Chain A
Amino acid sequence: MADIVLDKVTKKYPDGTTAVHEIDLEIADGEFIILVGPSGCGKSTTLNMIAGLEDISSGELRIAGERVNDKAPKDRDIAMVFQSYALYPNMTVGENMAFPLKLAKMPKAEIDKKVAEAAKVLELTEYLNRKPANLSGGQRQRVAMGRAIVRSPKAFLMDEPLSNLDAKLRVQMRTQVSRLQKQLNTTTVYVTHDQTEAMTLGDRVVVMRGGYIQQVGDPQTLYDNPHNLFVAGFIGSPSMNFLPATVEESKLRTPLGDLPLGDRVRRALSGADAPRQVILGIRPEHFEDARLIEEHQRAKGFEFTAPVDLVESMGSDKYVYLTVEGEHAVAADLEDLAADAGGADLPPQDNLVTRLSAESRVRDGADARVWMNLDKIHLFDPRDGHNLTLHEGQAAGVNAA
């Protein structure tokens, strides 16, 4: 049990590329922190530096207050779970879990006791004498976890531990990991590229991109108050809708129509360098079928009509894809997001993804009258992607005039 502090930690490779730029991060004792980002964002490199598998080029890494930059992995007293599980194929499940304890020269009786305990927690008791080759993916994953927990290390590092499991098992293991971490209360750093895992598992989430930290915060804060376009687009599924918008007098001209500007947004846009061209971001759940909106709410929003492209009924609610004519939002952040998602995870360019109540009677092919909550919109600067509507870290609603 220990806290982990990264103080301007940088990783530079001999060929000159910098994988991680001066990262500052304080991980509290017992905290479950998630490093998330698209591939190549430096999250695994950061984890490997904490593990000691990669050298730190500059900056300082402290575990439990002690500088460990120059310590070998084995002297840092941290355990790691790998995406490939990295089980020793020549050893049985029991031997795999006992391996770190054997190396630590623990007495045999104690090793057996600890392995038995861990096996019980992870429901592996009946498999102790099997070789990893004869286990299913989920069982192997649990063995890898077991090998980490038997040591009662200062911290757990997990490098996409669930990525090799099928979708259903991943959800089960996710809750198991979460429960195990709560039970053991051991500091855990967890790397993933899956924003759902990030949102559901962590106490705090660190969104990374290109070797820089974009934002650190608890999942809800990241979701509600993204600092920039990248975080806004990366967190949440289906992801946030982005539309180009132009600021004109007291109006915001968008492909959906002219939105009224509230006072606070006007103030946010009043700075000398405030852009005229902005990107409007709004999450799918902040739309609603206009017919289902109560009168007193109607005033807080904006109504528009758009042709329905597709309706996906999820039972609890409906995903309605609306066709929006006009230009697309353009920004470097959005291109990065699209590249990461392979275009698949983001709404198709001409579509606005909305999440309406199940009672909505919107149908394919027809026009729909849709209400949008103006309190929840975000405006981003397309030049650097930062969120213009954040004030002291809080989203400022665009109040209806």
Chain B
Amino acid sequence: MTVVSRQKAASPEAAVPSRRAGLSEGKKQERRLGWLLCAPAALVMVAVTAYPILYSIWLSLQRYDLKFPENREFIGLANYATVLTNNYWWTAFGVTMLITVISVAVELVLGMGLALIMHRTIIGRGLVRTSALIPYGIVTVVAAFSWRYAWTPGTGYLANLFSPEGAPLTERASALAIIIFAEIWKTTPFMALLLMAGLALVPDDLLKAASMDGASWWQRFTKVMLPVMKPAILVALLFRTLDAFRIFDNIYVLSAGANETSSVSMIAYNNLMKGLNLGIGSTMSVLIFLTVAIIAFIFVKLFGTAAPGSDDVDGRR
């Protein structure tokens, strides 16, 4: 990794091609050693990620249903056409996007609040931080089951409290709300943890200077803290967005995808594992992979504009 990053770092000034050719023998040796040292890790990565990805792309280009294995056939992009013109897919896609956007947005706000509390706490800091992290430490499936019982009519305390008549997990809107709620409850601490790391990047002097300059608490937060924390916020958002987009376990336990509450991961799983349709299931997996890649790409592009080296260009008035 060192070698790669060094090359990258050197590239802007290494615009002169002769520089590369002019590498001394020692440098070349060092670079070769770098590659050799990375090689085992790189090989393992290839074995455990590249191979399955390529294999699922290969599967997605075939008609391949384990119930009718004799019909296996290479059909090009036909599976993609099938999935992308299908309502189930788009409904699930919409549900996933909805869950992602709402939960990440709420988590950002709550996480920031929690991070500020954890950052400012002086007394019992360890206790506060530990207790704030408990939800994140609980296995998602276990937490999801406890939410499911809590919302089960008749026996669940939350169901009795909020909706004694109905069955909230069997209606689409309320089921989605509960799923989102469970998701937020579970991962806000993670967001808070990442944001807290960002808060530590804001020098105290900067906040002191802002209060001397006449900034109110809110102005210090929005005009000084947030801009300085921006890289950390973007990282937190990226992680959580990618994570939330792949939501599976909460939905699986809470509603099992009934009443159009399936996420894309749910329907991929249903097609692949339950329906044994390797072709369609793989197509969906590849599409999820692509979507995640696009989200990451958008975020990285955002990082690009926020990176310290580049902001003096667009920062000019």
Chain A contact residues, CB within 8 Å of chain B: 51-53, 72-74, 78-80, 82-84, 86, 88-90, 92, 94, 99-100, 103-104, 129-131, 133-134, 147, 151
Across the interface, do B206 and A86 meet the contact criterion of CB distance under 8 Å? Answer: yes
Across the interface, do B216 and A74 meet the contact criterion of CB distance under 8 Å? Answer: yes
Which residues of B have CB within 8 Å of A88? 206, 209-210, 223-224, 227-228
Distance to closest chain A CB from B220 (angstroms)? 10
- Choose one: B214, B228, B230; the contact of A103 (CB below 8 Å): B214
Q: Nearest CB to that of A100 among chain B residues?
A: B213
Across the interface, do B315 and A86 meet the contact criterion of CB distance under 8 Å? Answer: no
Kindly state the separation between the CA atoms of A134 and B223 in the bound complex, as whole angstroms. Answer: 20
- Choose one: B208, B224, B317; the contact of A53 (CB below 8 Å): B208
Fill in one digit per residue for B170-212: 1 if any A CB lies within 8 Å of its CB, else 0: 0000000000000000000000000000000001011011111
Chain B contact residues, CB within 8 Å of chain A: 203, 205-206, 208-216, 219, 223-224, 227-228, 230, 308, 311-312, 315-317
Which residues of B have CB within 8 Å of A80? 208-209, 212
Secondary structure at the A interface, as helix, strand, loop or mixed, is loop
Kindly state the separation between the CA atoms of A73 and B205 in the bound complex, as whole angstroms. Answer: 14
Which residues of B have CB within 8 Å of A83? 205
Kindly state the separation between the CA atoms of A166 and B316 in the bound complex, as whole angstroms. Answer: 29
Across the interface, do B227 and A90 meet the contact criterion of CB distance under 8 Å? Answer: yes
Please name the 9 residue pairs, one residue from A and one from B, whose CB atoms are nearest each other, closest first.
A86-B209, A90-B227, A100-B213, A86-B205, A74-B214, A103-B214, A80-B212, A73-B211, A82-B205
Across the interface, do B212 and A79 meet the contact criterion of CB distance under 8 Å? Answer: yes
Across the interface, do A51 and B212 meet the contact criterion of CB distance under 8 Å? Answer: yes
Which residues of B have CB within 8 Å of A82? 205, 208-209
Q: Nearest CB to that of B212 among chain A residues?
A: A80
Across the interface, do A86 and B228 meet the contact criterion of CB distance under 8 Å? Answer: no
Distance to closest chain B CB from A383 (angstroms)? 40
Across the interface, do B316 and A129 meet the contact criterion of CB distance under 8 Å? Answer: yes
Across the interface, do B228 and A90 meet the contact criterion of CB distance under 8 Å? Answer: yes
Q: Nearest CB to that of B219 among chain A residues?
A: A103
- Choose one: B215, B311, B317; the contact of A94 (CB below 8 Å): B317
Interface centre among B214, B230, B312, B317 (most CB of A within 10 A): B214
Known: A74-B216, A104-B214. A86 touches B312 (CB 8 A): no
Known: A84-B203, A88-B224, A90-B228. A131 touches B312 (CB 8 A): yes
Known: A79-B212, A89-B228, A130-B312. A84 touches B219 (CB 8 A): no
Kindly state the separation between the CA atoms of A47 and B158 in the bound complex, as whole angstroms. Answer: 55
Q: Nearest CB to that of B227 among chain A residues?
A: A90
Known: A74-B215, A86-B203. A133 touches B312 (CB 8 A): yes
Across the interface, do B315 and A131 meet the contact criterion of CB distance under 8 Å? Answer: yes
Distance to closest chain A CB from B79 (angstroms)? 47
Across the interface, do A129 and B317 meet the contact criterion of CB distance under 8 Å? Answer: yes
Which residues of A have CB within 8 Å of B311? 90, 131
- Choose one: B203, B213, B308, B316; the contact of A74 (CB below 8 Å): B213
Which residues of B have CB within 8 Å of A84? 203, 205
Kindly state the separation between the CA atoms of A372 and B211 in the bound complex, as whole angstroms. Answer: 54
Which residues of B have CB within 8 Å of A53? 208, 211-212
Across the interface, do A86 and B208 meet the contact criterion of CB distance under 8 Å? Answer: yes
Q: Nearest CB to that of B317 among chain A residues?
A: A129
Across the interface, do B208 and A74 meet the contact criterion of CB distance under 8 Å? Answer: no
Which residues of B have CB within 8 Å of A151? 213
Q: Nearest CB to that of A159 among chain B residues?
A: B205
Q: Nearest CB to that of B306 among chain A residues?
A: A90
Distance to closest chain B CB from A23 (angstroms)? 21
Distance to closest chain A CB from B228 (angstroms)? 6
Q: 23 interchain pairs (CB within 8 A)?
A: A51-B212, A72-B211, A73-B212, A74-B211, A80-B212, A82-B209, A83-B205, A84-B203, A86-B208, A88-B209, A88-B210, A88-B223, A89-B227, A92-B315, A92-B316, A92-B317, A99-B215, A103-B219, A129-B316, A133-B312, A134-B312, A147-B209, A151-B213
